[in-house]
Structure 1
Amino acid sequence: MTQDEILEEFRAADALLEGHFILSSGLHSPRYLQCARVLMDPARASRLASALARSLPIEIKSQISMVVSPAMGGVIIGHEMGRSLGLEAVFVERPTGTFELRRGFRLKPGQKVLLVEDVVTTGLSSREAMKAVEAAGGQVVAAASLVDRSNGLADLGVPFFPLIRIDVPSYEPGAVPPELAAIPVEKPGSRKAA
């Protein structure tokens, strides 16, 4: 898929929003990609996951034997990536504020994992999920996401493969420009702001 085709998938799902948003990282932004909307159509989710899977280098695909994603946002794309790659897919969740494997999910000691997210902004959730994988005995060898909106700043410590990079400004709470501050704020994400 081309970058324009990927963006068209978001537009067609009314998932490319404009306004004043607080991201799960706590940063403010004039644009928000609501991946839950783009992934609610199973055919669209499959197309995007297939494109993302095709973009992974063969040396990464040949190593991994499990897909792990953080709940909530990464569950659907993680599952679809597992389908596209022919691998099992599990997720980590935060029942007490820290990611962990639950529901009987297990990793074999040293099992090579692909971490899959919907959107990476600061990389904090990805790094926290990676710690949970390591605590469970796995090894994250690469990360992938539908969208990298970190402006190239997210350092996950492993090779990172986003389907699309979108450079959208984001601001610390005390540095929101007046024109953005004048717009009513929305918090569309799946968890409280950091």
Structure 2
Amino acid sequence: MTETEVLDEFRAAGALLEGHFILSSGLHSPVFLQKMFIFQDPARTERLCRALALKARGAFGKIDVVVSPALGGIVPGYETARWLGAKAIFVEREAGVFKLRRGFEIAPGARVLMVEDIITTGLSSRECLAAIAEHPGVIIGAACLIDRSGGKADIGVRRVSLATLDIPNYAPDALPPDLAATPAIKPGSRASVGAV
């Protein structure tokens, strides 16, 4: 699947939004990728995650376990794991820190791939990878549907993505005038949706 085809999937799903958005990181951006509009369509999700599985297998070889951060990474992690023939598990926050819970385990020597939906600053990826590192598996890399950092977000391991975009993000006190003049909305999962 080409980068253009990936972005066409997002556009067709109404998942590539333009305006003024406050991201879950607190940064502001003129573009928001509403991945849940992708994940509500199983056929679209299957196409994208099958392509991600093929790319990950080509880059990293055999993968035994896919670990994703809850909540946004669970669907693409599961579907990518299905195409890899791997186990799919996820980390979730406990006292603000990602942990494997629910009896999930990683066997010694298991080859582990961290799968994310969208990488912006890389913070949740780094936190997820730190949680995985507490277990005896071998982290072989990371994969995401879209890397909106233009490949600049340092997550500490090699990664593959279906599309790499360089979408600008701004600190709240450093907005360009045109963005500052547009009302902001916060469509992410860490706060309620609505005008801010």
- Look up the equivalent residue of 2:5 and give its one-letter code: E
Please give the secondary structure, in 1, of the residue aligned with 2:17: strand
Specify the SS of the correspondent of 2:94: coil
1:103 deviation in Å? 1.1
Distance apart, 1:137 and its partner CA: 2.9
Query: What TM-score comes out, normalization by structure 2 length?
Result: 0.93
Q: State the shift of 1:152 in Å.
A: 2.0
Q: 1:7 and 2:7 equivalent?
A: yes
Describe the SS at the equivalent of 2:130: helix
Percent identical:
55
Q: Name the counterpart of 2:166.
A: 167
Structure 1 residue 139: Cα displacement: 2.9
State the secondary structure of the residue aligned to 2:145.
strand
Deviations 1:18-41 (A, max 9, x none): 111111111110000011111211
- Tell me how far apart the structure 2 counterparts of residues 137 and 185 of structure 1 sit (CA, whole Å): 43
Deviations 1:133-157 (A, max 9, x none): 1113333210000000012211222
Q: How does 1:1-194 map to 2 (within 5 A)?
A: 1-58=1-58, 60-62=60-62, 64-192=63-191
Does the 8 A contact of 2:2 with 2:162 survive in 1?
Answer: no
CA contact (8 A) 1:77 1:117 kept: yes
* Preserved CA contact (<8 Å) 2:57 2:84: no
Corresponding residue number in structure 1 for 2:194: none
Question: Which amino acid in structure 2 is aligned with residue 19 of structure 1?
Answer: G
Unpaired runs of at least 5, structure 2: 192-196
The whole-number CA distance in structure 2 between the counterparts of 1:58 and 1:52 is 10
- Cα-Cα RMSD: 1.5
Task: Determine helix, strand or coil for the equivalent of 1:164.
Answer: strand
Cα distance per residue 1:90-143 (max 9 Å; x no partner): 010113211001111111134221000000011111010001111133332100
SS for the counterpart of 1:118 is strand
The code of the aligned residue for 2:106 comes to L
**Tell me, which stretches of 5 or more residues in structure 1 are unaligned?**
none
Aligned equivalents of 2:178, 2:130: Cα separation in 1? 38
Task: Give CA-to-partner distance per residue, 1:67-91, whole Å, 9 cap, x none.
Answer: 0000111000000001110111001
